[in-house]
Amino acid sequence: MKTNEINHWMEETLQYIEDQIRHGYLQQSIGAPLIDKDRLFLLIFPYQMIGSFTDLDRSYVSTAMLIQTALDTHEKVSKEQQDLLRVRQLTVLAGDYYSGLYYQILAKIPDIKLIRSIAHAIQEINEQKIELASLNMTSLEEFITSLKKIESAIITKFYKHRGLEQFSHIAEDLLVLKRLIGEQRLYEHGEYSILFSFLRNYLAQQGDRTTSVEGKVWDYYAKAVDELKESLEQKLRLLPDHIQSAIPSLFTLLHSSPERPKIYAEEG
């Protein structure tokens, strides 16, 4: 019953978000944006513990999702000029449009304090993104802390504003774990991964130029993932079972073991 309840709230919220962002020409040209359901779940599950999810709560959750979708959309604007001009143009504008919608909903509520909190989160996220893009970090811990801020600054500001900060650490760990696994997938598919680029640069700067650098990159990555999982498991033990089983896709991240990507085997 509890699982049905949270799924119902998620479907309703998803529908509300889709209604907000619907724009015929944008969708026809670049497609509808992908709404991160794991993140949506993280925004909604605290309400299940409280036992109620009002229309106002739905509006609040939607604003956090809209701004995240805006930032994620802007991530698709490539560094290079390889994409089609019109696709790039509309991707920039779609992101701007979604961030305008977040502001519009909060202005209508009205909740000026949350507008400010989210604005602070956007500032922090973009500062961290620039730091990461410049590969300025001096350690893997620093790099992961930065990734954590990028992935969870909005959700933690949201939790704090809505008095739900006890869930912040779980969201932070889960979101950064999801990102790390996402980076691994990029790397496995031969795409650019900022994490693996950083690790390779970092290890090369350590003076380790042996043939095993690639292997060490993997060891560093696997260790970071294991540590995160361990930390998460401790925090999740405190949650009721039905929360853990509500969205398997998110929590199964915990039970997947990183497998050494084939790319290493081929290079080795």
Partner 1 sequence: MKLKMLYSFLKTDIEEIEKELNMAIDSDTALLKDASLHLLEAGGKRIRPVFVLLSAKTGEYDIHVVKNVAVALELIHMASLVHDDVIDDAEIRRGRTTIKAEWNNQVAMYTGDYMFARALDYMTEIEQPIAHQILSNAIVELCIGEIAQIQDKYRFDQNLRDYLRRIKRKTALLIAVSCQLGAVSGKVSPDVHERLFRFGYYVGMAYQITDDILDFTSTEEELGKPAGGDLLQGNVTLPALYALENPALRKRIERVHDVMPRGELESIISLIISSGAVERASELSQRYLKKALIELDELPSSRAKKSLRDIALFIGKRKY
Q: Which of 196, 195, 213 is nearest to 205 (CA)?
A: 213
Query: Which residues have CB under 8 Å from 6's CB, separation 6+?
Result: 41, 44, 45, 48, 246
Handedness of CA 172, 178, 181, 183 (dihedral sign): negative
Q: Which of 3, 78, 206, 234 binds partner 1 (CB under 8 A)?
A: 78
Least Å distance, CB 34 to partner 1, is 18
Of the residues 16, 97, 220, 264, which one makes contact with partner 1 according to CB under 8 A: 97
Q: Does 147 bind partner 1 (CB under 8 A)?
A: no
Nearer to partner 1, 75 or 208 (CB): 75
| Minimal distance, residue 112 CB to partner 1, in Å | 5
Q: Which of 52, 108, 205, 265 binds partner 1 (CB under 8 A)?
A: 108
**Site residues (CB under 8 A) for partner 1, limited to 5-24:** 23
CB atoms within 10 A of CB 40: 21
Which tokens hold the place of 97? Answer: 């449009």
User: What is the number of alpha carbons within 13 Å of residue 144 lying toward its C-beta?
Assistant: 21
Instruction: Report if residue 115 touches partner 1, rule: CB under 8 A.
Output: yes
End-to-end CA distance of the chain: 51
**Interface with partner 1 by CB under 8 A: which range of 5-13, 82-90, 170-178, 180-188?**
82-90
Closest C-alpha to 159, from 168, 150, 148, 171:
168
Rounded to 5, what percent of the chain is helix, strand, coil?
A: 80, 0, 20
CA separation for the pair 83, 228 (Å, rounded) = 35
> CA dist 133 to 34, 48, 96, 99, 199, Å?
23, 37, 21, 22, 13
> Is 182 within 8 Å of 253 (Cβ atoms)?
no
Given the rule CB under 8 A, which of 39-47, 122-130, 169-177, 199-207 is the region that contacts partner 1? 122-130
Q: Which of 22, 113, 160, 185 binds partner 1 (CB under 8 A)?
A: 113
Using CB under 8 A, which of the segments 109-117, 166-174, 231-239, 244-252 binds partner 1? 109-117
Report 181-210 residues binding partner 1 (CB under 8 A). none
- Residue closer to partner 1 by CB (options 85, 265) is 85
> Is there a contact between 214 and 264 (Cβ–Cβ < 8 Å)?
yes
Per CB under 8 A, 161 contacts partner 1: no
CB of 161 to partner 1, least distance (A): 13
Residue 73 neighbours by CB distance under 10 Å: 23
CB of 101 or CB of 171, closer to partner 1: 101
Q: Is 110 in the site for partner 1 (CB under 8 A)?
A: yes
Instruction: Write the single-letter amino acid at 251.
Output: F
Interface with partner 1 (CB under 8 A), residue from 88, 162, 242, 260: 88
Using CB under 8 A, list all residues that contact partner 1. Answer: 23, 25-26, 70-71, 74-75, 77-81, 85-86, 88-90, 92-97, 99-101, 103-104, 106-108, 110, 112-113, 115-116, 118-120, 122-123, 126-127, 129-131, 133-134
